[in-house]
């Protein structure tokens, strides 16, 4: 009886994690469709996403405030706010702007490098040794990106902003890895729900301030379908997968979640092919396999 219970919980954890990873992978698809169907720029679309996510973050912060008794120190406040602004706000902005110039499939592949950047950050800053398996994983992931990138460059030779868009996605992956590394070190002391809520609120504040100074207010006046893209990004591609992956971590552990999340790039490429009409080519397939295998190695051996 106990064995069956454990198995069912484990199966539920895997299913929840897979669904959460697939939902996360819809972000690039929704953004690309919004750019194609509307005149919104990246900052306006990002602002809509954070606006409709805001009530969930406020609710989480309010609930956790009633449960957590120990207040945050000044240093913890600075760290959480800094990670929210630098790690999540900037990475989201780089991501949305970059998606204007590269395909959804390539965006997801480059963004999926963040676990490798996290390994490098931990090695350089926190002096954590890079073991042999991680070195192999780093080699495979960057080789995979190179193969997919060269193949896509040959197909997308008419795009003058291809390199710039790719560079922005790389910046997104790097800044997001900073957020992940920082979160991993702060969550044991701050708490996962409190950290996430406060960091996301800080990120949302950054987006709102940016939009207030440089936003396209005219785009907001054109309501209609514009708002639906923000709602889809907030609910389907942000809030739901966040809670699902968090639940998956509780059930099957963070390493298993990292491994299962490798389904994300594949999901994005398939969705991009059928929804956006993006081509699937041999170099992309080969590069994707290498990147996923490398990330799985990191997740399998990660602590």
The per-residue pLDDT for 143 is: 93
- The residue among 262, 267, 293 whose CA lies nearest residue 280 is 267
Domain housing 176 = 2-301
pLDDT reported for residue 222:
64
What is the C-alpha R_g of the chain? 19
pTM as predicted: 0.87
Q: What is the pLDDT of residue 99?
A: 96
What pLDDT shows up at residue 167? 96
Q: What pLDDT shows up at residue 175? A: 95
**What total number of domains does the chain contain?**
1
C-alpha 204/C-alpha 60 separation (Å) is: 14
**Per-residue model confidence (pLDDT) at position 166:** 94
Tell me how far apart the alpha carbons of residues 43 and 173 are, in angstroms, rounded to a whole number: 18
Give the integer Cα–Cα distance in Å for 221 and 216.
9
In terms of Cβ atoms closer than 10 Å to its own Cβ (0-12, 13-18, 19+), residue 120 is middle
What's the pLDDT score for residue 11?
Answer: 80
Contact between 108 and 171 (Cβ < 8 Å): no
pLDDT the model gives residue 80 = 93
Helix (H) or strand (E) holding 169: helix 162-190
- Using 50 as the pLDDT threshold, list the residues of the chain that sit under it: 1-9, 303
- In 19-151 the beta strands, taken as DSSP E runs, fall at none
The vertex-49 CA angle with 45 and 51, nearest 5°, equals 115
Q: What is the rounded CA–CA span in Å between residue 51 and residue 231?
A: 9
Q: What is the pLDDT, as a whole number, of residue 129?
A: 86
Distance, CA of 140 to CA of 286 (rounded, Å)? 11
Confidence at residue 273, expressed as pLDDT on a 0 to 100 scale:
93
CA dihedral of 59, 60, 62, 64, whole degrees rounded to 10: 160
User: What's the distance, Cα to Cα, between the start and end of the chain in Å?
Assistant: 31
Q: Summarize pLDDT for 186-204 with one digit per residue, the tens.
A: 888 888 888 888 999 999 9
């Amino acid at each position: 009886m106990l064995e069956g219970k454990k198995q069912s919980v484990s199966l539920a954890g895997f299913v929840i994690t897979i669904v959460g990873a697939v939902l996360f992978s819809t972000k690039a698809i929704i953004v690309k469709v919004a750019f194609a169907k509307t005149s919104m720029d990246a900052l306006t679309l990002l602002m809509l996403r954070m606006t409709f996510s805001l009530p969930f973050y406020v609710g989480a912060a309010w609930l956790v405030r009633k449960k957590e008794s120990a207040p945050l120190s000044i240093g913890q406040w600075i760290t959480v706010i800094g990670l929210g602004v630098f790690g999540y706000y900037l990475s989201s902005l780089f991501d949305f702007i970059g998606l204007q110039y590269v395909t959804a499939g390539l965006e997801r592949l480059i963004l999926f490098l963040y676990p490798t950047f996290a390994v490098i950050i931990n090695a350089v800053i926190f002096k954590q040794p890079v073991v042999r398996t991680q070195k192999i994983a780093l080699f495979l992931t960057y080789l995979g990106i190179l193969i997919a990138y060269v193949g896509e460059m040959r197909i997308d030779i008419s795009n003058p902003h291809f390199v710039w868009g790719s560079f922005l996605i790389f910046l997104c992956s790097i800044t997001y890895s900073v957020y992940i590394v920082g979160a991993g070190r702060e969550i044991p002391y701050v708490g996962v729900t409190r950290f996430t809520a406060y960091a996301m609120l800080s990120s949302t504040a950054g987006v709102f301030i940016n939009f207030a100074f440089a936003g396209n207010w005219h785009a907001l006046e054109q309501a209609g379908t514009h708002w639906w893209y923000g709602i889809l990004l907030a609910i389907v591609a942000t809030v739901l997968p966040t809670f699902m992956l968090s639940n998956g971590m509780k059930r099957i552990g963070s390493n298993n979640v990292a491994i299962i999340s490798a389904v994300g790039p594949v999901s994005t490429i398939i969705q991009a092919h059928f929804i956006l009409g993006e081509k699937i080519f041999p170099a992309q397939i080969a590069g994707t396999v290498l990147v996923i295998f490398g990330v799985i190695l990191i997740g399998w051996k990660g602590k």
